[in-house]
Amino acid sequence: MAGYEVVHVAVAAPNIPDPEIVKKVATIVNKDPYQTRLLLSSGFPKLIAHHPSLQEAESTARNLTDLGLVAFVCQNSELRKPSKVFIVHTVEFLNGEAVFLNTGGQTKIIKSADVFLILKGVLQISAEGETTETERKINWGATLLLGGIPIRRKVKERVSATIFREEPAVRLYGHESSDPAVQMLQHDMAYSFLGAQMASSSAANFNTVVAKLRDLFPRAIFDDRLMKSSGSESLSAKASDDLELNYKLLYLYYKTKSGLSHS
């Protein structure tokens, strides 16, 4: 159908929900109560329902909100849209604002009141490289010596591949967009701007920067739940997409929660 787009409903429970609440949510979203309880018990915003129209999604979100949950709708195109990110190389902290510079010399100035949310977490960074693969190939010399009985040997080969690594990151968000205003990666920063506070460890320097950001933007919400590593077995393009989804869901969650608290 032309113009068709899935509209998602996301929900988060501030506390472990009562079993009766879980049953009501399961009925609203047409899911199994056990599966519903798992989604709600994480405390993290999760996609829980999917509708073909905005009206249906908004109706589901209202019903969930009436149960005391934080629920919001998000269109699939917006949720899956790649974020435009300003990658920071160095920072200058001033009175009431920060000046962020990237490796190209471009600057972005952000005032204290303009940051709504600070998210500290991990990202999966991809780069083209090489990896070693082991294959079992027929050893023709040994095979002929044994009268044709196939003898195989292990052969290591270098092959081109996309390599993923986990990288600690911090993102600052404004009030109007789910795209981060700036992003800092632990191993991509030049920490000389820290002066006497600069340590020998990039992890220590990164934490110092985060602490300075929190001091400079005291009104911003801070969340570091995404610091939990996904595990090396999950290093993949899909896992990277899932992490990006979680960043967007957290932003939308806090925007919704902030709106509810002022309504």
Displacement of CA 64 from its chain's centroid (Å): 24
Per-residue confidence (pLDDT) for residue 131, from 0 to 100: 58
pLDDT at 231 over 50: no
Window from 1-5, 31-35, 80-84, 179-183 with minimum mean pLDDT: 1-5
Per-residue confidence (pLDDT) for residue 166, from 0 to 100: 87
Nearest to 92 by CA among 182, 173, 192, 211: 192
CATH fold label, 7-80: Ribosomal Protein L30; Chain: A, (3.30.1390)
pLDDT at 10 over 80: yes
Q: How far is CA 191 from CA 46, 52, 184, in A?
A: 36, 48, 11
pLDDT band at residue 238, thresholds of 50, 70 and 90? low
pLDDT at 114 over 80: yes
Q: Considering the domain delimited by 90-128+163-261, tell me its CATH architecture.
A: Roll (2.30)
Mean predicted confidence (pLDDT) in 49-59: 96
Q: How much is the mean pLDDT over the chain?
A: 87
**From CA 137, how far away is CA 236, in angstroms rounded?**
28
pLDDT band at residue 158, thresholds of 50, 70 and 90? confident
- Between residues 19 and 137, which one has the greater pLDDT? 19
DSSP 181: S
pLDDT at 233 over 50: no
- E runs forming strands in the chain: 7-12, 46-51, 70-75, 90-94, 97-101, 107-111, 117-138, 152-173, 182-185, 221-226
Q: What percent of the chain has pLDDT over 90?
A: 65
pLDDT at 135 over 80: no
Per-residue confidence (pLDDT) for residue 173, from 0 to 100: 97
b/e sequence 127-158, b meaning 16+ C-beta within 10 Å: eeeeeeeeeeeebeeeeeeeeeeeeeeeeeee
**From CA 8, how far away is CA 118, in angstroms rounded?**
24
Mean predicted confidence (pLDDT) in 186-202: 96
Per-residue confidence (pLDDT) for residue 212, from 0 to 100: 97
Q: Which residues contact 153 (CB under 8 A, 6 or more apart)?
A: 136, 137, 139, 142
- The CA R_g of the chain, rounded to the nearest whole Å, is 24
Q: Is 168 left (phi over 0), alpha (psi -120 to 50) or beta?
A: beta
Q: Which span out of 64-68, 128-132, 151-155 was modeled with the highest average pLDDT?
A: 64-68
Window from 176-190, 199-213, 221-235 with minimum mean pLDDT: 221-235
Helix, strand, coil % (nearest 5) of the chain?
40, 35, 30
Tens digits of per-residue pLDDT, 74-109?
Answer: 999 988 888 889 999 999 999 999 999 999 999 999
pLDDT band at residue 136, thresholds of 50, 70 and 90? confident
Q: Are 173 and 219 in contact (CB under 8 A)?
A: no
End-to-end CA distance of the chain: 37
Displacement of CA 56 from its chain's centroid (Å): 27
Q: Are 115 and 220 in contact (CB under 8 A)?
A: yes
Enumerate the domain spans of the chain: 7-80, 90-128+163-261, 133-161
**From CA 114, how far away is CA 184, in angstroms rounded?**
17
Sequence length of the chain is: 263
Tens digits of per-residue pLDDT, 162-192?
Answer: 676 889 999 999 999 999 999 999 999 999 9
What is this structure's pTM?
0.81
